Amino acid sequence: MFYVIGLGLADERDITVKGLETVRRCKRVYLEAYTSILLVEKTKLEDYYGCPVIVADREMVESESDTILENAGEVDVAFLVVGDPFGATTHSDLVLRARELGIPVQIIHNASIMNAAGACGVQLYNFGQTVSIVFFTDTWRPDSFYARIQENRSIGLHTLCLLDIKVKEQTMENLARGRKIYEPPRYMTINQCIEQLLEVEAKRGEKIYTADTLAVGIARVGAGDEQVIKAGTLGQLQHEDFGPPLHSLVLLGSRLHFLEFDMLRQYSVGLEKLNEVIARDYEH
């Protein structure tokens, strides 16, 4: 059997009981390590699971999937994914490859940022399309996310922004020369995300959102006392400290219940400003 197992959000203990029992009987265990990260080292997983864990980077998953799937029809193989197995389309592709080879597949689900974002106090029912915000470069400043945010906000829905991570990335020069030299990992912060969002808004000028738009910054969701949630305007949150990765941002739409306003006040970085924006922009 080929198992795709969600690990949850934070550390080695977030795996489900079913997932842990499965991992412990597998012959090989891979950890997908580029669409997201846990907040602990691989050795913590190995100690807790009681078995070796092989790190599967982007190159292995996308170009060497045969290595992962080798003899998975005869022995149990686990592929571990931070969050939920289907939080990234790459994992659907791996499942399809397995089934094409006649390998039975079982999925073991877990919590992901897609549902844990509800910790910020707004209802999951009122989230629209999720968008990814990637690091800008000097020559590449994509703004395709803007249209999706516009669609969400046009019908009052919130937008979950997933922030870029760069793990085991190569410079263009090293890539062109075939040198296996990798850049240090980088994780986008909420501050960088907001800077890029406001840059795109300034360029587009359609006022889909502004520095006065309400948002919630969430960091290390599910990590207990290390979790951070802060609500305020984009302008306010841009200057807040959210600590280490991983970070996400929720842009609020207009569909908010009075209980949601009460929750946002609990996380406010400036209650007077929050109440001012609520009174100005939201109906009661």
Whether 19 has a binding-site annotation, put simply, is: no
The pairing of beta strand 2-6 with beta strand 77-81: parallel
Q: How far apart are CA 257 and CA 283, in angstroms?
A: 10
**217 among annotated binding-site residues:** no
Q: How far apart are CA 39 and CA 220, in angstroms?
A: 8
Burial 126-160 (b: 16+ CB within 10 A, else e): bbbebbebbbbeeeeeeeebbeebeebbeeebbbb
CA distance linking residue 235 with residue 38, whole number of Å: 29
95 is in an annotated binding site: no
84 is known to lie in a ligand binding site: yes
- The tokens describing 234, both together, are 């984009």
Q: List helix spans (H) across the chain.
A: 17-24, 42-49, 58-63, 65-69, 89-100, 113-116, 145-154, 172-176, 190-204, 234-237, 258-266, 271-281
β-pairing, 159-163 with 247-251? antiparallel
The verdict on whether residue 66 carries a ligand-binding annotation is no
Amino acid (one-letter) located at 154: S
Helices (H) and strands (E) in the chain, counts: 12, 12
Q: Does the annotation place 113 within a ligand binding site?
A: yes
Residue numbering of the annotated binding site: 9, 84, 87, 112-113, 163, 221, 247
Residue numbering of the annotated binding site for S-adenosyl-L-methionine: 9, 84, 87, 112-113, 163, 221, 247
